[in-house]
Amino acid sequence: MPAAVLEDAAADVGPVEPEEPGPATGPRRVLESPWFGFALRRLFGVVLVLAVLVGLTFCMVQSMPGDPARVAAGNNATPEQITRMRHDLGLDHSVAAQFGHYVGGLLRGDLGTSYTTEEKVSDIIADRLPYTSELALLGILVVLLVGVPLGMAVAVACRDGRRRHLDGGFTLATGIIGSTPEYILGTLLVLVVGIELGWLPVAGAATADALVLPVIAVALGPVCTIARIVRRETAVVLARDYMRAARGRRLPAHRLYLRHALPNLLTGTLTVAGLLLTGLLGGAVVIESVFAWPGVGTRVVEAVTLRDLPVVQGVVLVLGILACLLNLLIDVVLGLLDPRTLTGRAAS
Amino acid sequence: MTAGLPPRRDRAATRPPRKRLGAMLVIGLAGLGLLVLLAVVAPWIWGDDADRLGPEVHLGSSGEHWLGTDALGRDIFARTLVATRPTLELSALATLIASTVGIALGGLVWVGGPRLRAVGLRVIDVMIAYPAVILALAIAAILDPGPKACVIAIGAAGSPTFARLTANLTASVAGRDFVGSARLLGVGPLRLMRRHILPNIAEPLLVLLSVSYAHTLMALSALSFLGLGVQLPDYDWGQLLAVGLQSLYTNPVEAVGPAVAVVLAGLSASFVGDGLAAAAERSSAPAMKAKASGAAESDPVSAIPDRTAGVPDDAVLVIDGLRVLRADGTALVDGVTFHVGAGEIVGVLGESGSGKTLTAMAVARLLPGGLHATARRAVLRDPGADELDLVASGSESAATRRRLATEIGIVHQDPSASFNPALKLGGQLTETLRVHMGVSRREAARRAVEQLEFVRITDPKARLRQYPHELSGGMRGRAMIASALLPRPRLVIADEPTTALDVVVRAEVLRVLRAANERDGTAMLFISHDVGVVGDLCDRVLVMYAGRLVEELTTADLRAGRAEHPYTLALLAATPHLDDTPSPEDANGDRRLAAIPGHPPRPDERPPGCAFAPRCPAVSPICHATPPPVHAPAPGLSVVCHLPGRRSATEEKPSEATR
Ligand code: SF4
């Protein structure tokens, strides 16, 4: 922030008046708003991600060892069928032409057709993505709403070296749950809550309560990891000078921790946790198989087994865009919490 | 950090013990060792059991088959143990791929020059943000599903993390001197990487390696679980688990063995990672042990004579025998007695670690965790209300909290760090008014504007809507003062408010403080290590040394050089031109104090006699053995010394010192 430094210098060297101007107004305000530069930079970022994703998914077919047409036509195909398949897939054109065709299709919303079921990939995704996003977004919500308060509560309870036992127990418990793969947690939930206790459905998405176990299975591990991060970040924030200043104002506990500490520890936490939340998308894909959840995850696993590339391509592309949007959302939240993060990634 | 709060050494007392983390590393290594041992021997010992078909299929847990049998009657316990080898091998292979590819990529990005670096880092960031499992699925689809595809897939998916860490670390190491000189000597980039950079970033890479091994193991087992990894008749834990899960409803015990194995292995690896990270942290910041010592408990509060008798009735603050104690009982501030009269500005002068800041924070009831204060008497007086006890233990009542918040204003040491960066200025300034005084939002804003005008901040209305980082350093300093003055407190405690400032801003801050004192008659306790600033602003000065008060005198006496205590005299002698505006070169007051040879003693190593004796030019034998007496001719004036007024050991003891 060279401008701020210059202002500082100006204010420090000269006599006290005149000082740096107050906040800008009018159209200048829009241009000078940190959100403007932020939007520009992020727009560039999104375009870059899209380009990388499209390039990578296109390369999937190209880099496949053996003949994609043979794979697509199936094991028992005759040479004529394979030739026809090669033509149908456009594999007899040059790579550049194929790429143009692929991108053109994408722009029209055409993601290709499944080798095995002949369904349009866009239809498959439109069918199944809502289930996966539901699972992932609810999972993220649970992670933030449970993990953050949990970590804060432990940090506040253990501040200045109090309650060592609670601290140790927390570290151990979150460590164990955090290093348990989500599909094992899911299985355990199925076993205990679903079968032994019989409280909740363990498969399918027919009813609303069928969501409970999959969401818990997806969220439990990240909840623990986030809680640990928040616990550490909170300890750091509580030791800051501005927290001492706030304590000096004798604020009630909720105001002290929620208004003064929370936004600051969230910035640190979210910077680290962005990866965790996109990783949760991957967790959702795996967990779907445990609960026979009709999302893109179960479908893509099937497609990988059958090497149904268009379906895999489509899902990889769409989930990639989802992950990218999620990151964007996190950065916007960060910007709202701490405007300093808008002026470049240097802060992170 | 010129003024230690708390003194550096004492922070060790509040630091949590690190022993548990060392144990973590040991447990993790032991677990991994056991697993490796199993991986080596299990196929020989249990190999036959694992493949032997039995007549009893889907058995539950029994003495013969601890974890039951599978669909072909094979013993699952044996199968789990035998599966250790392929599971560990595949994870190791994938981790190897991830680290080699990642480190090479990260190194390449750095070696390739600035333009490639910018683009490369951006691409690595994009790759990291992509969920690894999905990337692995894509790669598994390109290659035929199977262990080979999975290892490559997980390896590739894990490499961006290594790449970014390598790039980040390399960038930080590459900026260091020795790399620069190696480059000047013509060392090529590859050799530079191998000889000079890799060894220096090995430690964090090692931590990532073990954490990544845990993740790899989990991800691989997840792929096997999905049926994409190890294919029958081979098996690893994930595959065993997937098979066991098929009979979950009828024979749940089948899934237990492999599930526990995956968790234990993952846990061991992440314990190693956490333990290594903690060990690295430990070695970079050596824990300083707080020395427990009862020897410092020489003079309990009761032994200090009561000297509050002649304190004027209108004194705002009366402190008698204040001690600030560490958890182990060491007194960091030891028996300090003083008062601040109505409208009086009292300076507290001392080196870093003299206890001046702790004294101020004890008065404000803001001691950091692990420290507590005791005193025979420590009260804030208010003619219209009861005395407010400042060292009462136990939780504060709502009324006490309100009085503390509104009657004591605090100007913190570092205004830039003491404003919350996430909140707008207005909210922070008006908070006390709104929370404790029930002032409406509008009225609070009006008063805040008025106060900002008073401290000469331009465009105050708009400033309220700005964030602290949008203000200049000088403005933040004045805004901090405005914040302290807003509730119209009876006492302002200013903790080294001028330390970090340059001359012009410092003069401005002092002017504002003086103006507030003149306008409202606010009493002030002004902490500083700068003799010049204290002499400029204050009415009376308290000089502290090694946690004790050594002299109280008027500023007039200080300026005229009429101090009595050898320490104060030494301070004055080290301060040129007291009456001049301090020049920038004098900005660091500590340097002046350093002109007195030696260091103050640690609080747990105070000598039985005078703490200043080892450095005192006037020292005599009695000083080492006996605590010096207090000479207090009048309330607010005192000197604690055997030989007050003597400037050197040879000088004749002045007669007035015997008064
Ligand atoms: S008591 Fe003795 S050693 Fe201490 S300051 Fe006085 S003369 Fe010096």
Query: What does the pLDDT look like over B20-67, one tens digit per residue?
Result: 557 778 888 888 899 889 888 888 877 777 777 777 777 776 767 667
Assign residue A218 the CATH number of its domain.
Answer: 1.10.3720.10
**Ligand 1 midpoint to CA B624 (Å):** 8
Classify the C-alpha dihedral A41-A43-A47-A53 as positive or negative: positive
How much of chain A exceeds pLDDT 90, in percent? 3
Count residue pairs from A and B with Cβ separation < 8 A: 250
pLDDT tens, residue by residue, B150-180: 888 888 888 888 888 888 777 777 666 666 6
What domains sit in chain B, N to C, each tagged with a CATH number? 23-284 (1.10.3720.10)
In chain B, the percentage of residues whose pLDDT exceeds 70 is 82
Mutation to test the A interface, candidates B226, B361, B465, B492, most A Cβ within 10 Å: B226
> How confident is the prediction for chain A on average, in pLDDT?
78
The total of structural domains in chain A comes to 1
What residue's CA is closest to ligand 1, atom 3? B613
Q: B629: helix, coil or strand?
A: coil
Judge whether A312 is closer than 8 Å to chain B, CB to CB: yes
The answer to whether A287 contacts chain B (CB < 8 Å) is no
Q: How far apart are CA B364 and CA B255, in angstroms?
A: 60
B555 Cα to the center of ligand 1, angstroms: 22
> Does the pLDDT of residue B18 top 90, yes or no?
no
| Beta carbons of A312 and B249 less than 8 Å apart | no
Report the residue of chain B nearest A180, measured CA to CA.
Answer: B263
Widest pairwise Cα distance in chain A: 90
In a domain, A279, yes or no: yes
Q: Do B422 and A267 touch (CB under 8 A)?
A: yes
The CA B52 to ligand 1 mean position distance, Å, reads: 90
Q: What is the pLDDT of residue A46?
A: 80
* Model confidence at B289: pLDDT above 50: no
Question: Which of A48, A304, A316, A333 would best serve as a mutation to test chain B binding (most B beta carbons within 10 A)?
Answer: A304
The interface pTM score, or ipTM, of the predicted complex is 0.76
B393/B189 Cα distance (integer angstroms): 63
Residue A14 inside a domain? The answer is no
Contact B604, B327 (CB under 8 A): no
Inter-chain CB proximity B134 and A247 less than 8 Å: no
Look-up: residue for tokens 């005008």? B453
Question: Could you give the CA distance from residue B322 to residue B320 in angstroms, rounded to a whole number?
Answer: 6
- A141 falls within a domain: yes
Residues of A in contact with B370 (CB under 8 A): 160-161
Ligand 1 pocket, CB under 6 A: B 566-567, 610, 612-613, 616, 618-619, 623, 628, 641-643
Interface check for A294 against chain B (CB to CB < 8 A): the answer is no
**Predicted local confidence at residue B6, as pLDDT:** 36
pLDDT in tens, B489-528: 989 999 888 776 777 778 888 888 899 899 888 999 999 8
- Residue B374, judged by CB atoms within 10 A of its CB (0-12, 13-18, 19+), counts as middle
pLDDT of residue B303: 44
| Max mean pLDDT range (B12-26, B52-66, B532-546) | B532-546
Residue A15 lies inside a defined structural domain of this protein: no
- Is residue A21 situated within a structural domain? no
pTM across the whole model:
0.75
The pLDDT, as a whole number, for residue B650 is 62
Instruction: Give the three-class secondary structure for B540.
Output: strand
In our burial notation (b when 16+ CB lie closer than 10 A, e otherwise), range B542-566 reads: bbbbbbbbbbbbebebbbeeebbbb
Q: How confident is the model at residue A200, as a pLDDT?
A: 73
In terms of phi and psi (left: phi > 0; alpha: psi -120 to 50; beta: otherwise), the region of A306 is alpha
Q: What is the pLDDT of residue B80?
A: 84
> With contacts defined as CB-CB under 8 Å, which chain B residues touch A327?
129
- Closest among B96, B106, B149 to B127, alpha carbons compared: B106
CA of B21 to nearest chain A CA: how many angstroms apart? 10
Residues of chain A in contact with residue B245, where contact means CB-CB under 8 angstroms, are 187, 290
Q: Which of A94-98, A290-294, B97-101, B500-504 has the lowest mean pLDDT?
A: B500-504
Q: Which residue does chain A place closest to B217, by CA atoms?
A: A181
Q: Is A237 on the interface with B (CB under 8 A)?
A: no
Query: Which range marks the domain in which residue A118 is found?
Result: 3-9+27-343
SS3 B115: helix
Establish if A114 belongs to a structural domain. yes
Task: Yes or no: say if A242 and B415 are a contact pair by the CB < 8 Å rule.
Answer: no
Nearest-Cα distance to chain B for A343, in Å, is 12
C-alpha B2 to ligand 1 mean position (Å): 26
Residue B306 alpha carbon to ligand 1 centre in Å: 22
User: Does the pLDDT value for residue B13 go beyond 50?
Assistant: no
Contact criterion met (CB below 8 Å) for B487 and B437:
yes
pLDDT tens per residue across span B593-611: 546 777 788 888 888 888 8
Q: Which atom of ligand 1 is nearest to the CA of B610?
A: 4
Nearest chain A alpha carbon to B369: A160
Q: In terms of DSSP bridges, do strands B408-411 and B317-326 run parallel, antiparallel, or are they unpaired?
A: unpaired
| pLDDT per position as a tens digit, A68-109 | 777 777 667 777 877 777 777 777 777 788 888 888 888 887
Mean of pLDDT over chain B: 79
CA distance B32 to B38: 10
User: Can you give the pLDDT at residue A12?
Assistant: 36
Strand pairing class (B371-374; B548-554): unpaired
User: In the prediction, which pLDDT does B176 show?
Assistant: 65
Of B145, B462, B474, the CB nearest to A22: B462
Q: How far is the CA of B550 from the centre of ligand 1 (A)?
A: 10
Of residues B330 and B3, which shows the higher confidence score?
Answer: B330
pLDDT of residue B542: 94
**pLDDT at B87 exceeding the cut of 80:** yes
Kindly report, residue by residue over B110-143, the tens digit of the pLDDT.
777 777 777 787 778 777 777 778 888 888 888 7
For the CA of B642, the closest atom of ligand 1 is 1
Q: Point out the residue among A45, A60, A179 whose CB comes nearest to the CB of B214.
A: A179
Chain B contact for A320, CB < 8 A?
yes
What is the C-alpha to C-alpha distance for residues A165 and A174, in angstroms, rounded to an integer? 14
Residue B93 — very low, low, confident or very high, per pLDDT cuts 50/70/90?
Answer: very high
Q: Do B267 and A275 touch (CB under 8 A)?
A: no
Question: Are the Cβ atoms of A20 and B259 closer than 8 angstroms?
Answer: no
Interchain CB distance below 8 Å, A316 and B274: no
Could you tell me the strand order of the sheet in which B548-554 lies? Answer: B408-411, B491-495, B523-528, B345-349, B540-545, B548-554, B637-640, B630-634
Residues of B in contact with A159 (CB under 8 A): 369
Report which of residues B62 and A115 the model is more confident about: A115
